[in-house]
Amino acid sequence: MRAVAFMMLLAVLLLTTARGAWAADEGTLRIGSKRFTESYILAEVLAQTAAPKLSQAPVVRQGLGNTAIVYEALRSGGIDLYAEYTGTVALEILKSPQPLSRDAMQAALQPLGLGLAIPLGFNDGYAFAMRADEAKRLGVHTLSDLAKHPELKLGLSNEFIGRADGWRGVAARYGLPQTPTGLDHGIAYDAIAAKQVDVIDIYTTDAKIDHLGLTVLDDDRGYFPRYDAVVLYRLDVPQRFPQAWAALTRLEGRIDEHAMIGMNARAELQGAGFATIARDFLAGGGQGTTGLAPAGFMAKLFGPDLPRLARQHLMLVAVSVGLATLIGVPLAVGVFPHLRVRALVLGATGLMQTVPSLALLAVLISLLGAIGTLPALIALTLYSLLPIMRNAVTGLAEVPAGVKQAGTALGMTGSQNLRLVQLPLALPTLIAGIRTATTIAIGTATIAAFIGAGGFGERIVTGLALNDRALLLAGALPAAALALASEALFEALEWLLRRRQRAGVA
């Protein structure tokens, strides 16, 4: 029981620390990004531009997810600003059936406490692309031509498939008969190069269009609006950070399509870091040095971010499992004598396991009005409840009736019997449940990076955006090593428990 009590105490202490850290961010300029290369780079450009005019370094919350999650983070105050696109603001955020002028968007955003400013100088629109040889062979040059070839396989990003200005609209405009397959934007280029799909959706500033020799299909019926890059921000930002805001406004018109394609190429084709790319651009007024060799796998695995990511991952796992133990064990003990209530509670916790993690995180962001550590901890705690409660109930059920009766015969009260007889005998099974919950939490915690909670998933998310297998592996291997270390720790704990039980019997 001392081990369980220690985990409970640790959970309370770490949760207090996490809440304090989250609250400390309130006086800091927080900049977000979506989960694709260009958005990562622009977040760093914005942060490095503002940093010299701030009393403390801005927080950059990279790779928060698709438009819905990043916008919800902005609306709820989880971030203060991020780089967005006019077409997305009009059609996806404001749900307008047609493109809007910037003045109209500004007027619609103001009641929401948001503003749109600082046009950065380039248009990054949606388009469809095919392999050049295939497009030439079939005579496909426009989206109207694409409608004549239902046999072509479309691999589109999941966000594009779900967006109001995405697949549904373009399919209706052109009468496209294909059924697309959802792909992460970062791996779509590999899929088309390997001939696993024939057509992908692209951003017009993507670096790999020319690199892979793709043909961009002409939007001959003018479906896609302009997607001019701008800054979407909370209206209080200019008042809270006046000098930093003045510095940011000087970015207006500084990034053209050529510069943005060059910066994207440095990240995707040369492996340069986002912060380095932004620093070179701001220092030279262009895309900067392009001759850097990509960092090797070992450099990525043991990079300077490893201690920070390990600390964040350990905190997420320790706090969530500790809280699940603190909640789940008393709850399991309370419902154990009542068969119907027990079945209901275990069924509810089991149902929680079926909710997709990203969907749960999105719901929690909306309910809490926060991103980062807090919703991630709640989600991980909910996922950890089932194995802990199930094993606690199983352990109590396995205590022989004769042993419980013997305790009663010795004059123990019901609570004494539970505390001195049943729980000690159930402890090995309970520890096994905590062990399972810890393993689950270590794996699931990688998803927390999608909402800015950090951990080893941060490398995985960035690796997906860049289609960087080495970076993906540099995030997955430490998480796997942490899971193995936890298994060894629990194995040692169970060995000590068995040894004590044998000593007690002797």
495 to 118, 242, 396, 436, 500: CA distances (angstroms): 62, 60, 20, 16, 9
Q: Output the CA angle 29-240-274, nearest 5 degrees.
A: 25
DSSP code of residue 218: B
Instruction: Extract the tokens encoding 201.
Output: 């959706």
Q: Quickly tell me which residue has 């694709």 as its tokens.
A: 36
Q: Quickly tell me which residue has 């916790």 as its tokens.
A: 349
Do 354 and 401 belong to one domain?
A: yes
327 confidence band (pLDDT: 50, 70, 90): very high
Query: How large a percentage of the chain has pLDDT more than 70?
Result: 92
Do 312 and 411 belong to one domain?
A: yes
For the chain, what is the domain count?
3
Average pLDDT over residues 303-318: 92
**pLDDT at residue 412 is higher than 70:** yes
DSSP code of residue 92: I
Do 348 and 453 belong to one domain?
A: yes
Q: How many CA atoms lie within 13 A of 96 on its CB side?
A: 18
What is the spatial distance between Cα 441 and Cα 459, in angstroms, rounded to a whole number? Answer: 17
Q: What pLDDT score was predicted for residue 362?
A: 75
Does an H or E element contain 183, and which? strand 181-183
Measure the N-to-C terminal CA separation of the chain; round to a whole number of Å: 21
Q: Is residue 66 part of a domain?
A: yes
Do 367 and 446 belong to one domain?
A: yes
Do 500 and 413 belong to one domain?
A: yes
With a CB cutoff of 8 Å and minimum separation 6, the contacts of 173 are 221, 223
Strand order through the sheet with 214-216: 181-183, 154-157, 199-203, 126-131, 214-216
Do 320 and 440 belong to one domain?
A: yes
Q: What pLDDT score was predicted for residue 506?
A: 53
For residues 70 and 159, the answer to whether their CB atoms sit within 8 Å is no
Q: Is residue 36 part of a domain?
A: yes
What is the spatial distance between Cα 207 and Cα 189, in angstroms, rounded to a whole number? Answer: 10
Supply the range of the domain harboring residue 112. 28-123+227-292
pLDDT, tens digit, 9 for 90 and up, residues 161-195: 988 788 999 999 999 999 999 988 878 998 999 99
Do 313 and 423 belong to one domain?
A: yes
Instruction: Extract the tokens encoding 338.
Output: 């009542």
Q: What pLDDT score was predicted for residue 353?
A: 83
Q: What pLDDT score was predicted for residue 505?
A: 54
| Domain C-terminal end among 216, 242, 257 | 216
Residue bearing the bigger pLDDT, 50 or 211? 50
Do 56 and 138 belong to one domain?
A: no
Q: Is residue 494 part of a domain?
A: yes
**pLDDT at residue 376 is higher than 70:** yes
